[in-house]
Structure 1
């Protein structure tokens, strides 16, 4: 029984590591200089002009490869809970 459990645990760990490796290597989000597009988009809201300029350049360099993510962000909708929380905060 112990041998079977060891084999199952080893198999589960191997599958998990393969999944993590696959996700890391084949990320769907485009990146520039090691930083993903969503992080660059957040940097566009920064107060520092240098950070904003770097973010603009990164988004330009990513170009049309970033359109699926940008369109997805534009079409996303807030949950009813978030909308109520924002209304209460105001």
Structure 2
């Protein structure tokens, strides 16, 4: 039962990643593209967690945690660059 739920979740998360790629390419504004990248980060973390549950491998949870930290830092850096023009003051 859990394998079927994981397979369905992987398919739905993959579909949402495709929608994010569309928004990344066709986004009319830079802010839409940054939001698409941030949403792709969240979806990728969810995909890693579901794959970890599917394969019953706890090492993937650490990878998801590292990916979340890097994703947060890149989103903050992009926003700070757009607001001020530089990242490091």
> Which one scores higher on RCO, CA 8 angstroms, separation ≥ 6?
2
Which structure dedicates a bigger proportion of its chain to helix? 2
Structure having the higher Rg: 1
TM-score normalized by structure 2? 0.32
TM-score for both structures, normalised by structure 1: 0.31
